[in-house]
Amino acid sequence: MISIIFVTLTILVIVLVYIYLKQCYVPRRDDLPGVQPHIFFGNLLNSGILKQESTFNQVLIDYQRRFGDKFQYWFGSHRCLVFCRVEHAQAIFSDRHTFEQSPLFLPNFDLFCPNGIAMLTGAKWKRHIRVLLPMLKRAKIVGHLAMITQCTDRFIDRYLHAGQIHRNLYAACQSLTMNVIGLIGFDCDFDTHVDSPIKKAFLDFIFHSTLLMMTPWTPRWLGKIYLRFNRKYQRAYQLVHKLAEKLVKQEQNKQSEIEDERPKTLIASLVSSLNEEANDENISSGLNHVEIFDEVVMMILAGYDTTSTTLAWFIFFASKNPRVQQRMKDELREHNLMMTDDPNYLPSLTPNNLASLTYCEYVTKEVLRLAPTASFTTRIATRDTILDDVKINRGQTIFIALHNINTDARYWHHADPKEFVPERYLAEDQNHHPLAMITFGGGHRACIGQELAWFELKAAIVRLMQRGITFEDTPENTGGYEELITCFPKSLAVRVRFEKS
């Protein structure tokens, strides 16, 4: 009898939940256009995201073509409003009191890194940004140029072999950028190889975080159980945790030996802010030990994954455009920076001569514009408002379609905006709208590492060209998209040639 009652109640609950969810998905008169969502999955299933048949940048561009500059996208059970015009981005980014960072920016990522800067809002975000931002400004970064070129030289000598077709350069780019962030941010040479245990640990970290991000309907308690009993994730977590503890301990030992020295690296700033009594009522009170650990993990993840993706896209675009590679090398020769016949001499790169390489700057800019590293950024409405005649309720999630804007022909007039053409910045696109290229987002929640990403990417690209490297296209080099946290080239296969001066 009891079992019959239990089964009956269970069925009743399931039916009621189904009816409730069905009602949630019923279209309303004031809804923006979009595709009818699937219960539980929203549009993640019928848009091909969950099946890995498509990526967010492809889906958002397709939806804009079908529905216009304003439409809705159901991220699981979350009805998100998507805006695709520069004017939309400007209104959202400029109103920090109405639009704040949304938890859907990285869904469920707080299960992995709850105190990372990307997860925070309000006073806690201000407390963390006060510690992190000074070390990520350009004035601090340019002094690390020698470290970036050193890591790029190691990348060239270790992974690039003349005449061979390279099919695993994305993984090699990850090793390069992880080594850079180790030296610049943490004063530690990670010396990571393609198969290094610590690199594999971070890749496992990304895999499991992506898995939970793509299932936003999963109850949090179930996500915690999954992570708690997943051996692969637990191994990765232990390795990452040990690395963070090691970095903090090493810096504490340095600071105990040298007192009253101003922080010169990110880890030095983090450790000098250590205060177990830190609180949000005093934004200058520093960070506690747990918060520092999460910021170490967040900075390594953000510092290597996004830049390595963009560098891989540069290799792809360069292989398809040999004239661009040649013009970069011609510019280096004009400034007497190209390698010579003497194998023991290579002109040094300095912040000044790097800044003088304008065409190389345009190539870097074009890669950042065209590479769909981040397809969109998110905001959540903190109060009721109206944007372009669209009523937005408090708590509503907003998507700003970054890649759509970056490739919109209404804002880019020299050549097809979907084509890789660095010369556009020498022509009518020289004075493009500042928000027509928003790879790093905008407003007060723009990416805090954008100065580092710009400088590191340009320095690495210039060093590759300076060393006389040419990336050549192959039949296997078909590109396409593969997406985890970032969107990277699916099929990257190039032949490498070394030029003599």
Reduced to 3 states (helix: H, G, I; strand: E, B; else coil), residue 275 is: coil
DSSP class of residue 142 equals: G
Give, to the nearest 10 degrees, the angle between helix 289-320 and helix 197-213. 90
Q: Of 8, 21, 128, 157, nearest to 79 (Cα)?
A: 21
Task: Tell me which residue of 178, 243, 176, 233 sits closest to 210, measured CA to CA.
Answer: 233
Say which residues have a Cβ less than 8 Å from residue 60's Cβ, sequence separation at least 6.
Answer: 73, 82, 84, 375, 376, 399, 401, 403, 404
Whole-angstrom Cα distance, residue 439 to residue 450? 9
Structure tokens at 185: 């941010």
Q: Burial level of 220, CB count in 10 A (0-12/13-18/19+)?
A: exposed
Question: Which residue intervals of 335-391 are DSSP H helices?
Answer: 351-355, 358-370
Instruction: Decide if 379 contacts 392 (C-beta within 8 A).
Output: no
Pairing mode of beta strands 390-392, 78-83:
unpaired
Q: On the CB side of 56, how many CA atoms lie within 13 Å of its CA?
A: 24
- Amino acid identity, position 320: K
Token pair recorded at residue 220:
């949090």
Question: What sign does the dihedral 355-360-362-363 (CA atoms) show?
Answer: negative
- List the strands of the sheet with 494-498, edge to edge: 165-166, 494-498, 469-472
E strands, 88-178, are 99-101, 165-166
In the annotated binding site for heme, the residues are 447
**CA-wise closest residue to 299 among 139, 171, 133:** 133
How far, CA to CA in Å, does 115 sit from each of 49, 56, 267, 287, 299? Answer: 28, 26, 16, 10, 12
Please give the annotated binding residues, written as ranges. Answer: 447
Q: What is the DSSP string of 405-463?
A: HHT-TTT--SS-TTS--GGGGGTGGGG--TTS--TT--GGGS-TTHHHHHHHHHHHHHH
What DSSP character marks residue 273?
T
Nearby residues of 182 by Cβ (< 8 Å), 6 or more positions away: 188, 189, 190, 192, 300
